[in-house]
């Protein structure tokens, strides 16, 4: 599931302003106000998008930490919806899926959250770009060859 229904244990006070999502987040279109929370750990890249009116949290991350050349075109229509005049006004975040095993963590690169930092208005997009996945692994799994395994690909 893409959200956490319980409060994360490593959050600080919210940023001093509320974020407004006029169209909500996919699956939660009725939720219009959010706050962005930071982890108490300075080294944590994960933040929490919290619904203002209920116990609903989405872990989010800057996608460029996972895919350095992450990029997409924002339509003129969406620029207007966000009240922006140029792309430098935006903060882009993607929702993280936190499974039981940390090795299985994924990020949804197909549906980024775009926030206009000047007016705190945000929206979630669905990208047409084929190279981005809904479940992109965050941690790389390295395949290791066991010394006695030979060249059998099943053992890598």
Q: What are phi and psi of 77, to 5 degrees?
A: -60, -45
Q: Is residue 9 part of a domain?
A: no
The length of the chain, given as a count of residues: 156
The CA–CA distances, whole Å, from 14 to 38, 57, 107, 133, 152 equal 7, 12, 23, 30, 52
The domain containing residue 107 runs over which residues? 19-155
Q: Is residue 90 part of a domain?
A: yes
Q: Is residue 11 part of a domain?
A: no
Q: Is residue 146 part of a domain?
A: yes
Per-residue pLDDT of the chain (156 residues; tens, 9 = 90+): 333 333 444 444 445 568 999 999 999 999 999 999 987 777 789 999 999 999 999 999 999 999 999 999 999 999 999 998 888 889 999 999 988 888 899 999 999 999 999 999 999 999 998 899 999 999 865 433 333 334 444 433
Q: Is residue 14 part of a domain?
A: no
| The pLDDT value given to residue 141 | 53
Q: Is residue 68 part of a domain?
A: yes
| The pLDDT value given to residue 86 | 83
Rounded to 10 degrees, the C-alpha dihedral 99/104/108/114 comes to: 70
Asked if residues 24 and 36 have their Cβ atoms less than 8 Å apart, the reply is no
Q: Is residue 77 part of a domain?
A: yes
The one-character DSSP state at 79 is: H
Residue 123: CATH number of its domain: 2.30.290.10
Measured between alpha carbons, how far is 58 from 98 in angstroms, rounded to an integer? 10
**What is the number of structural domains in the chain?**
1
Buried b (16+ CB within 10 A) or exposed e, 97-114: bbeeeeeebbbbbbbbbb
Q: Could you give the residue ranges of the DSSP H alpha helices within 7-151?
A: 76-81
Q: Is residue 1 part of a domain?
A: no
């Amino acid at each position: 599931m893409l959200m956490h229904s319980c409060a994360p244990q490593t959050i600080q006070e919210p940023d001093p302003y509320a974020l407004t999502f006029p169209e909500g987040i996919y699956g939660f279109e009725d939720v219009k106000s959010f706050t962005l929370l930071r982890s108490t750990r300075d080294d944590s890249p994960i933040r929490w998008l919290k619904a203002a009116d209920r116990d609903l949290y989405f872990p989010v991350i800057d996608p460029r930490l996972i895919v350095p050349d992450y990029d997409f075109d924002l339509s003129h229509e969406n620029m207007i919806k966000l009240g922006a005049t140029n792309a430098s006004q935006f903060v882009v975040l993607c929702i993280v899926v936190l499974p039981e095993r940390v090795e299985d963590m994924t990020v949804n690169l197909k549906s980024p959250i775009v926030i206009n930092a000047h007016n705190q208005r945000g929206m979630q997009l669905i990208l047409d770009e084929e190279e981005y996945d809904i479940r992109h692994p965050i941690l790389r799994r390295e395949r290791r060859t066991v010394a006695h395994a030979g060249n059998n690909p099943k053992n890598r």
